[in-house]
Amino acid sequence: MTGPIQINRENNQRRWTIAANVRGRDMGGVVADIKKLVDAKVQLPPGYYVEYGGQFENQERAMRRLFLIVPAALGMIFLMLYLSLGSFRSATLIFINVPLALIGGVLGLFITRQYLSVPASVGFIALFGIAIQNGLVLVSYINQLRGQGSSVGEAITEACTLRLRPVLMTALATVLGIVPLLFSTGIGSEVQRPLAVVVVFGLLSSTFLTLVLIPALYEWFAPKSERQVKNML
């Protein structure tokens, strides 16, 4: 008599597991290719069906949550900026740091051949917070100088000069702290590296563009009158 050594069950149904490891490709792309092959070449008898679980299932579940968490986090950041500054235009100006940081993070994933995963998404959330902080440091000081009677040009020049060091120190300290994760190769590196790539490359782009674009765009978004600036302080 012959038969299976072990019968696995889940939800009161028999289950057979086929396991595989993914290397050199993103898990979502591999599973998509597997689905196409299974649908094209495998004819399942009545009562049989295929489920794709394991790390892929966990990743899909986490990504669905992140699709809700990331917009909610960005919305809360913008709301806090508006409540802090009391100006929709100034909040929008600082919020421009989000796409500036996004450019570097996406470019970093492309250069290092990493994939958009749950760790990378978490890295984007952390990156957005740091980028917004740097923009707030610069714009709030420009508003402070304007409230003291400086012209727009004088306030921008002085703020960029005096706030250059704090902005660079914030970015540099974060990058230096996370660089070891960027070059990690041991156990867990598949989780650490995407997060580090997003934060490091995103901070490089957002810091540079913050110091260049934010001052250039300030006159378009900033309050027009000195009275409005004083009401924000």
Q: Percentage of residues in the chain with pLDDT exceeding 90?
A: 0
- Kindly give, in sequence order, each residue whose CB lies less than 8 Å from that of residue 116, ignoring residues fewer than 6 positions away: 26, 109
Highest mean pLDDT pick, 14-18, 115-119, 141-145: 141-145
Which residues touch 26 (CB under 8 Å, ≥6 apart)? 115, 116, 117
Mean pLDDT within 38-44: 80
Share of the chain above pLDDT 70, in %: 88
Q: Could you name the CATH architecture of 63-232?
A: Up-down Bundle (1.20)
Largest CA distance in the chain: 95
Please give the pLDDT value at position 119. 81
If you average pLDDT over every residue of the chain, what do you get? 79
What pLDDT does 231 receive?
A: 52
pLDDT tens-digit map of 171-210: 888 888 888 877 777 666 677 788 888 888 988 888 888 8
Say what the pLDDT of residue 37 is: 83
> What are the b/e assignments for 167-204, b being 16+ CB within 10 Å?
beebbeebbeebeebbeeeeeeeebbbbbbbbbbbbbb
Contact 138, 214 (CB under 8 A): yes
Give me 47's structure tokens.
């009562």
- Predicted local confidence at residue 73, as pLDDT: 83
Q: What is the mean pLDDT of residues 115-127?
A: 82
Measured in degrees and rounded to the nearest 5, phi and psi for residue 30 equal -65, -45
Residue showing tokens 């989780």: 191
> 32: pLDDT confidence band, cut at 50, 70 and 90?
confident
pLDDT in tens, 52-80: 777 777 777 777 887 888 888 888 888 88
Give residue 224's pLDDT.
58
Q: Is the C-alpha dihedral spanning 67, 119, 102, 111 positive or negative?
A: negative
Per-residue model confidence as pLDDT tens digits over 210-226: 888 888 888 787 655 55
Q: What does the domain layout of the chain look like in residue ranges?
A: 63-232
Q: Torsions phi, psi of 10, nearest 5?
A: -150, 130
What pLDDT is recorded for position 94? Answer: 85
> Which pLDDT does position 24 carry in this prediction?
67
Alpha carbons 108 and 205: distance in angstroms, whole number: 10
What does the alpha-carbon distance between residue 192 and residue 184 come to, in Å, rounded to a whole number?
7
CA 178, CA 175: separation in Å to the nearest integer?
5
C-alpha 154 chain-centroid distance: 34
For residue 232, the model assigns a pLDDT of 52
